[in-house]
Structure 1
Amino acid sequence: MKKPPAPPVPSAAPALSPTLRVLIGLAAAVIALAGLSLGRELVGPLALAAVIVIICHPVRHPLERRGWPRWLATTTVIVVAYLILGFLALLLFFAGTQFVRLVADYADELQGTAQAVVAWLGSVGLDDQAADAAASVLQPSTIAGFAASLGGTVLTVLTAFFFVLAYVIFMAADGSRYARAESSFGAAARTSIRRVQSFNTGVRRYYIVNASFGAVVAIIDGLALWALGVPAPAVWAILAFVTNFIPNIGFVIGLIPPALLALVVGGWPLMLAVIAIYCVVNVTLQVLVQPKFVSDAVSLSLTLSFFSVIFWTFIIGPLGAILSIPLTLLVRALVLEGDPDARWLRWLSGDTVSARDG
């Protein structure tokens, strides 16, 4: 008896070429980033709340080891997170109100300095348009407009504060449940859990390093400005502390306002003294010393750190500058660390562990 012919074996689907896979991945990334940008009012507070909870989450471990109920340990994490948020809000409120008061108090001096700048620029041969453009920076209306814009940004953040508070509660509660993932799923979930733990550890180390260096820089800058007689040194010390969380360019952002105020109240010699002190203190600590500690904490290259500030500010607004490093670490953990073939990309981003694994 003749055997029936064997059924045809279906041919395997043709594999996508590497170039096509890259193009599809880039297209998907553009769509995802466009969605994040459109929803920045929700994504920004969510990312901020996640970072706060990650920082505060280790508080629960010693409490649970001492026999505290899980709900009470979670409540403690929420309280600590709220204390941090409240402290930051008070700092920003104090600095903002003092800055507006300074603009009002020194309006006449600002006008006189603007006129002096115009005369000096004209004496060195610059045309009227260049002189007017440079002098407009010191016009009271320009600085008042900047203050209003800053106030609008703070108002937007405060408007989203409700979402941050709600996110903190939910994430702190979920954090206690996620801690039991390995006992629920066994060894199969161990790799993913370690990736999450590595990301959380990197975020905590990054903010501990930045907060430590920021406090030192703020104290030194504040005392130096007070000794030089620059008005409101506490405001500029707070600004130096906050801008320390912005990699690479935070030093420049924190220097411009006190330098301009020093020019108004003390002329060029005082302005140059402020710039010199900031350069010595901030460049030494933030440019020469701090990057070594940050690199050890998060293993990101300096180029990627600088680019991440610009990129995430463009995507989710001003809050992205402060959250740029955690967001970049999150993308690397989700996209690269789960793919063995992407080890060289992780090394390119500054991850020294990937090189040792290879």
Structure 2
Amino acid sequence: MTGKTHRRPPQGIPAAPAPVLSPTLRVLLGLAAAVVALAGLYFARDLVGPLVLGAVIVIICHPVRFPLERRGWPTWTATTAVIVVGYLILAVLVALLWYAGVQFAQLVVDYEDQLKSTAEAVISWLQSIGMDGQAADATASILRPANVLAFATSLGGTVLSVLTAFFFVVAYVIFMAADGARYSRAEASFGRGVRPTVRRFQIYNSGVRRYYVVNATFGAIVAIIDGLALWALGVPAPAVWAILAFVTNFIPNIGFVLGLIPPALLALVVGGWPLMLVVIAVYCVVNVTLQVLVQPKFVSDAVSLSLTLSFFSVIFWTFIIGPLGAILSIPLTLLVRALVLEGDPDARWLRWLSGDHEAAPLRPAAAEPD
């Protein structure tokens, strides 16, 4: 027979190793793949946002089924209980957003004249301290009724988009709650081989639940204190600002500022600079004490994310999937870490950089010789 013969390397001489990608090339390929995946999420944000919200609600409500199943209730009954609890959470959220949006729009109409006069007074004061007219006008534009109405309209659009997504979330909750019963039996069905993966997602689910429980608890405390303080100070619509304080508590790092600006500006309109400064002082004392000094300790224990990564997550996921990204930023970041890093033993140091306490070095590094 004719043809080429493949020579084997002589005995004792190892075969040439297979080509291996350089670390730099692997990083570049990983970044390119991440950009493509994130671009897909960006263009599918209207589908991804409700999907993630539905998943988070099911994760929060999933433990409801366990005591029912231990008592011998049928699986479908336990699943129905999970769905009902999830719907109650959604109903409360929608009711709060709707009430706050309607009341905010009414406030703008009621205080239109005061907003105009306050804006003119702010412009005059800024010009008196040396700021040119154009810069002063731009600075005080936040108090102009037209701009406030535009903000209210955009807020209403956001609420409308959330309400539209609500119908998708309702369907997702039903399907995911039903699938959750099946996924909880994965290890019994496939054996110990899937235990590491199951364990990884159990830790993720537990972290997400603790994160939202901690934020809801501290958010309720902050909202009650802020609302009572604003009511005592005579700031209009304290319930609206209490709701805003509760909702923005789920936005890491910058939620406090977002919840402070509207009531502080309204205090400026109805009571002048003294009332505004008092409102800012009250918010700083209450929110800084609870949200900056106390709450991060509990949140850190729940999710193990660094402060820098938490702050960046809010900006990044808001850009990728829209306003829902601010509230879902921590679960999304935890999910990426669980999928990309926690299954790779070589990525232990990256997990440590992200704030994961369980990824601490196994033993102290040996001291360098002098």
**Fold shared by both chains (TM-score > 0.5):** yes
Superimposed CA distance per residue, residues 240-261 of structure 1 (whole angstroms, 9 cap, x where no aligned partner): 0000000000000000000000
Which of 178, 193, 204 in structure 2 is aligned with 1:173?
178
- Post-superposition shift, 1:8? 3.1
Tell me the amino acid that sits aligned with residue 84 of structure 1. I
CA distance in 1, matches of 2:188, 2:61: 23
The separation in 1 between residues aligned to 2:170 and 2:6, in whole angstroms, is 65
Among 94, 103, 106, the residue aligned to 2:99: 94
Aligned match of 1:285: 290
Structure-2 change in CA distance of 1:118 and 1:6 (3 Å): closer
Distance 1:245 1:151 in 2: 20
User: What secondary structure does 1:36 align onto?
Assistant: helix
Q: CA deviation digits over 1:131-189, x for unaligned, max 9?
A: 11011110000000000011111111111111111110110000000011001110000
- The equivalent of 1:57 in structure 2 is 62
**In the alignment, structure 1 residue 298 sits paired with structure 2 residue 303:** yes
Residue in 1 aligned with 2:121? 116
Where do 5+ consecutive residues of structure 1 fail to align?
none
Letter of the structure 1 residue corresponding to residue 136 of structure 2: A
Secondary structure in structure 2 of the residue aligned to 1:248? coil
- Alignment correspondent of 1:194: 199
Q: Is residue 125 from structure 1 mapped to residue 143 from structure 2 by the alignment? A: no
| CA gap 1:357/1:51 in 2 versus in 1, 3 angstroms | farther
2:246 to 241, 246, 250: 241
Q: Is residue 2:49 matched to residue 1:37?
A: no
1:323 to 320, 328, 334: 328
The letter for the 2-side match of 1:277 is V
Is 1:309–2:310 an aligned residue pair?
A: no
Secondary structure of the structure 1 residue equivalent to 2:360: helix
Q: Which residue of 2 aligns with 1:81?
A: 86
| Offset of residue 127 of structure 1 | 0.3
SS of 1:245's equivalent?
coil
Q: Deviations over 1:257-298 (max 9, x none)?
A: 000000000000000000000000001110111111100111
Give TM-score scaled by structure 1 length: 0.97
- TM-superposed CA distance for 1:13, in Å, is 3.1
Amino acid at match of 1:8: R
Q: Which moved more, 1:116-125 or 1:244-253?
A: 116-125
**Offset of residue 12 of structure 1:** 4.7
1:118 shift after superposition? 1.0
Q: CA deviation at 1:7?
A: 5.4
1:206 corresponds, among 206, 211, 215, to: 211
**C-alpha distance in 2 between matches for 1:287 and 1:40:** 31
Partner Cα separation in structure 1 for residue 307 and residue 125 of structure 2 = 39
Aligned to 2:368: none
- Over aligned residues, Cα RMSD in angstroms? 1.2
Q: Which residue of 2 aligns with 1:8?
A: 8
Corresponding pairs, count: 354
Among residues 221, 246, 251, which one is paired with 1:216 in the alignment? 221
Report the CA distance shift for 1:11/1:76 in structure 2 as closer, same or farther (over 3 A).
Answer: same
Match of 2:159 among 150, 154, 159: 154
* Deviation string, structure 1 residues 303-327 (Cα, Å, up to 9, x no partner): 1101100110111111100000000
1:25 maps to which residue?
30
Which residue in the other structure is 2:230 paired with? 225
Q: CA deviation at 1:6?
A: 8.0
2:73 is paired with a residue whose SS is coil
Counterpart AA for 1:87: V
**SS of the residue 2:85 aligns to:** helix
Separation in structure 1 between the aligned mates of residue 362 and residue 321 of structure 2, nearest angstrom: 34
Identity %: 78
Structure 2 CA distance, aligned partners of 1:111 and 1:300?
Answer: 44
- Runs (4+) of structure 1 exceeding 6 A deviation are none
Q: Secondary structure at the match of 2:179?
A: helix
> For the residues of structure 1 that align with 2:217 and 2:150, how far apart are their CA atoms?
33
Q: 1:356 and 1:194, CA in 2 relative to 1: closer, same or farther beyond 3 A?
A: farther
Matches within 5 A, 1:337-352: 337-352=342-357
